[in-house]
Amino acid sequence: MAATQSLVAMQGIAKAFPGVVALEDVDFSLRKGEIHALMGENGAGKSTLIKILTGVEHPDQGVIELEGTPVQVRSPQHSQELGISTVYQEVNLCTNISVAENIMLGREPRRFGSISWKKMNELARQAIGRLGIDVDVTQPLGNYSVAIQQMVAIARALEIASAKVLILDEPTSALGVKQSAIVLRHIIAARNRGLGVIFITHNVSHALPIGDTFTILSRGRTGGQFDRGDVDEAQLHSQMGGGDELHELTRELEALSRGDRRPPAPTPAPTREPGPPPVSH
DSSP assignment of 48-111 equals: HHHHHHTTSS--SEEEEEETTEEE---SHHHHHHTTEEEE-SS--S-TTSBHHHHHHTT---EE
Distance, in Å, from the CA atom of 225 to the CA atom of 266, rounded to the nearest integer, reads: 30
Between residues 132 and 63, which one has the greater pLDDT?
A: 63
pLDDT greater than 50 at residue 1: no
The answer to whether 7 touches 32, Cβ cutoff 8 Å, is: yes
pLDDT over 90 for what percent of the chain? Answer: 41
The answer to whether 71 touches 65, Cβ cutoff 8 Å, is: yes
User: What's the pLDDT score for residue 4?
Assistant: 61
Distance, in Å, from the CA atom of 217 to the CA atom of 27, rounded to the nearest integer, reads: 10
pLDDT over 70 for what percent of the chain? Answer: 86
User: What's the pLDDT score for residue 43?
Assistant: 82
User: What's the pLDDT score for residue 2?
Assistant: 42
Closest CA to 191 of 31, 79, 69: 31
Distance of CA 45 to the CA centre of its chain: 11
> Across residues 44-72, what is the average pLDDT?
94
User: What's the pLDDT score for residue 79?
Assistant: 92
- Residue 157, classed as helix, strand or coil, is helix
What one-letter code names the amino acid at 59? P
Q: For residue range 87-144, list pLDDT tens digits in order.
A: 887 777 899 999 999 999 888 889 888 999 999 999 999 988 888 788 999 999 999 9
The answer to whether 8 touches 49, Cβ cutoff 8 Å, is: no
Q: What element of type H or E holds 20?
A: strand 20-31
How far lies 185's CA from each of 74, 130, 172, 232, in Å? 32, 11, 12, 21
pTM of the model: 0.76
Distance, in Å, from the CA atom of 10 to the CA atom of 65, rounded to the nearest integer, reads: 6
Q: Which of 4-18, 26-40, 224-238, 242-256 has the lowest mean pLDDT?
A: 242-256
Q: Which domains does the chain have, with CATH numbers?
A: 6-83+162-257 (3.40.50.300), 94-161 (no CATH)
pLDDT greater than 70 at residue 261: no
User: What's the pLDDT score for residue 5?
Assistant: 66
> Across residues 52-68, what is the average pLDDT?
95
Q: What element of type H or E holds 214?
A: strand 213-218
Q: What element of type H or E holds 187?
A: helix 177-192
Encode burial over 252-263: b for 16+ CB neighbours within 10 A, e otherwise.
Answer: eeeeeeeeeeee
Neighbours of 43 (CB within 10 A): 14
